[in-house]
Structure 1
Amino acid sequence: MRFNHRAKYGVAIISLLLLSVGLTGCGKSSAKKGDYTPKKLTVEFVPSSNAGTIEAKAKPLEGLLKKELGIPVKVAVSTDYNTIVEAMGSKKVDVGYLPPDAYVLAHKQYNAKVLLQAQRYGVKEPNDQSTGKLVDYYRSQILVRKDSGIKDIQDLKGKTIATQDTTSTAGWIYPAVEMLNHGVNINKDGIKTVQVKGHDQGVLSVYNKNTDAAFVFQGARLLVQGDEPDVMKKVVPIYTTGKIPNDTITVRGDMSSKWQKKISKAFKDIAKTKKGHQIISSVYSHEGYVDSKDSNFDIIRKYDKEATKLDK
C-alpha cells in the first residue's frame, strides 16, 4: 500500500497538537508538578523488526524491572511511535523506548523527560561489520539492489522508496532531509513511497524488488542475513547520513525526580547483567545505557525544521 508521506507528516503533527490542547487542563499542569509515583509501570516500544518475535524477546524485562523497582511492570509493543507519544501524553504509558525524533515530539508536546541514551557498537562498511567500539550515535542508509542501476541520490527520481513512519529518524527524517540537501525532494520529483513496518521489511522490499530503494538504519541488512544469506551482495547502500543520536529511554513528564532516578538506575543495572544484556541486545542491539539530556537532541530539532522544506 502506498502512502502520501507529505500528508501523513502533517496529520501526525496536527494530531499531536490537538491532543496536547485537549490535555492542557490535566496532562501539562500535572507534568509540571513532577509528583507522579507509579504503582505499576507501563513500558512500550516499537520494534525495529518482526513485532511478535520482538515482543516475546522483550517480555522478560518485566520480571527484571519488577525486581529492581519493587512494583509490577508491563512491557508491550506499540504500533508506531506516534501512538507511544500520545499514550505518554494521556498518561497511559510511563516509559517509552523512543527514537530521537519521537522523543523531541514527546518533549515538546508533553514535557516528556529523557533519562538515558542507548550505546551500540559502531558499524562500518562494506558488510556492516562492528567496529568494536561503543558509541551513542548511529546512521541511516539508503539501500538499493546492486543490479538496479541506481548509483546515487539523483537516480532516485521517479523511483519507489520503502520508508518507516514519518517520525522515524533513520527511516524517514534524516535520509529525506539529506536527499533534499542533494537536490532531490521525496515529496516531489516523481518519487513514490511505501511505508513498511520494521527496518527488516525495508531491506526485504528492496531484496525482493518490491521497491527500488529503502531508508533503514545502518546495519539493518544483518536483520535478514539469516534468512537471505546473499543480502549483502544483492542489497547495497548508495548513501549514508550524518550521525543520529541513539535511541532514548524516556518517561512521562510528570514522573517524580525520585522515580526518574530509580528507573534510570534500574535500566543501567539490568543492562550490565548477563540476562538483561541479552534482552536489550536482541531487541534493539543495545549494549548498555548512559545518562542523557535534552540538549543532545538539538540536532534533531534542526533536521525537523529542515524537513518542513519538503512541503514547499
Structure 2
Amino acid sequence: MNAQAINMNGLERSNIMSNIRKALIPLLCILFIFGTIGCTAQGTQNTGAAKSSQPDKLRIGVIPSEDSENVESKMEPLKNYLSKKLGLEVEIFVANDYTAVVEAMRSKQIDVAHLGPFSYLLATDKANAEAIVSKVTLETGLPTYKSVILARKDSGIKSISDLKGKTFAFIDPASTSGNLVPRNELLKNGIDPDKDFSTSIYAGGGDASALSVQNKKVDAGATSDTEYKTMMEKNLLPDVDIIHESAPIPTSPVAVRKDLDSGLIRKIKQAYLDMDKESPESLKALGLDKYGETKDSAYDNLREIAKILNVDLTKMK
C-alpha cells in the first residue's frame, strides 16, 4: 500500500508539474510579445531622438564687412527679433571669411548662414545648405540684379563686339557683377577678356569702375545696374550709357542646413519675409530694404558660370 501510495503521489506530482508548464507557456509568450513591442518602441524612440534636428538654440553665421564688434552690433536687432519670433535663443557667429562660415555649417556648428551668391554654391556643395530668402531692393522689388557694361556716349562703342582692342575696368576679382558675370558675357559674345583688351584694370568698386568710364580713364567698364542707377540719379554719369546687360543675377541669400526640422525651416523663412513689416529696424541696421523668397535653382546660372570660368569657390564672396 505504501509503495502504491508513493507511486500515486509521484504520478500526481508529475501531472501537476505538466499542467503548470502548460499554463506558463501562453503567459511567457504574452510577456515576450509585450517585451518585444516595448523594446521596439524604445528603439524607435531612441532612433527618433538621434535623428532630431530641432536645435535648442539657433546659431547664425556671418562674415565681418568691417570689424567683428561692429558686425555683432548690427546683428543685434535681428538676433532679438528672431529670438522672439521663433521662441529660441539666437547666437551670432562672426567668422573671418565665407569659407569659415561654410565649414562651420558643414560641421553643424551653425544652422543659418548669410552668404554671397558664389559662396552659397560652395555651401550647397560642402555643407548641405539651401537658400530660403535673399535680399530684395525696393527699386526693383526683386531678389535679383544685373551686371551692366558701360561706355561713354561719344566713344563709338555700341555693343560688346566693339570692345576688342579697347581698355576695360572690372571691379574686383571676387565680384559677381563686376568680374565673373561680365567675363562670361564677354566670352559668350566673342571677346576674350584676358587677350582681347589692350589694357584691363580692377577699379576696386562699382562706382570707381563707372567713374573710370565717365572720366575717360578706360573705354568701357562693368558694374551693377543698381550702382549705375544710383549714380545716374546723382548725375554722376552724364556721358555714360549701358551697352550690354546680363541676365538677372540672384542676390545674396540666407541659407539653412537642409537637415534642420522642416517646421523650423518654414518658421525661419517666414520670419525673414516678415521682417520689413515686423522689425524694420533689423533691416535698417543691416543696410537692407527687405528679404524675398528664393530657391536653390535660382543659382543654377551662377553654377554654369563657375564651371565655364573654372572659378575657385573658396575665394568667392
Structure-2-length-normalised TM-score: 0.63
Q: Deviations over 1:48-90 (max 9, x none)?
A: xx999x95765532332233233134275865x5554455445
What residue ranges of structure 1 are gaps of 5+ in the alignment? Answer: 1-32, 122-129
> Which is bigger in relative contact order (C-alpha 8 A, separation at least 6)?
1
**Distance change in 2, residues 1:42/1:277 (3 Å):** closer
- 2:305 maps to 1:298: no
Task: Say which of 127, 130, 135 aligns to 1:110.
Answer: 127
| Corresponding position of 1:39 | 57
1:250 is aligned to 2:255: yes
- Partners of 1:138 and 1:244 within 8 A in 2: yes
| Secondary structure of the corresponding residue to residue 89 of structure 2 | coil
Q: Report matched runs for 1:1-312 at 5 Å.
A: 35=53, 37=55, 39-44=57-62, 55=71, 59-69=76-86, 70-74=88-92, 81-82=98-99, 84-89=101-106, 91=108, 93-121=110-138, 130=139, 134-146=141-153, 150-158=157-165, 159-166=167-174, 168-190=175-197, 191-194=199-202, 196=204, 198-204=205-211, 206=213, 212-223=219-230, 229-252=234-257, 254-273=259-278, 275-276=280-281, 278-279=283-284, 283-284=287-288, 286-290=289-293, 292-308=294-310
Distance 1:249 1:301 in 2: 17
Alignment deviations for residues 224-280 of structure 1 (CA, whole Å, 9 cap, x no partner): 578xx3313144322111122343211245544343223212212213236247528
Question: Which deviates more from structure 2 when the two are superposed, residues 57-66 or residues 108-117?
Answer: 57-66
Letter in 1 for 2:287: V
CA distance in 1: counterparts of 2:93 and 2:154, whole angstroms: 42
CA-to-aligned-CA distance 1:190-245 (integer Å, 9 cap, x gap): 4534262x53454455556665544322111355578xx33131443221111223
Q: Mark the structure with the bigger radius of gyration.
A: 2
RMSD (Å) for aligned C-alpha atoms: 3.9
The amino acid that maps onto 2:170 is: A
Paired residues of 1:165 and 1:195 also in contact (CA < 8 A): no
| Aligned length in residues | 256
C-alpha distance in structure 1 between counterparts of 2:96 and 2:218, whole Å: 25
The CA deviation at 1:157 is 3.8
- C-alpha distance in 1, partners of 2:190/2:184? 10
Q: 1:219–1:34: structure 2 CA closer, same or farther, 3 Å change rule?
A: farther
Among all aligned residue pairs of Structure 1 and Structure 2, give the percentage whose two residues are the same amino acid: 30
- How far does residue 297 in structure 1 lie from its aligned partner after superposition? 2.8
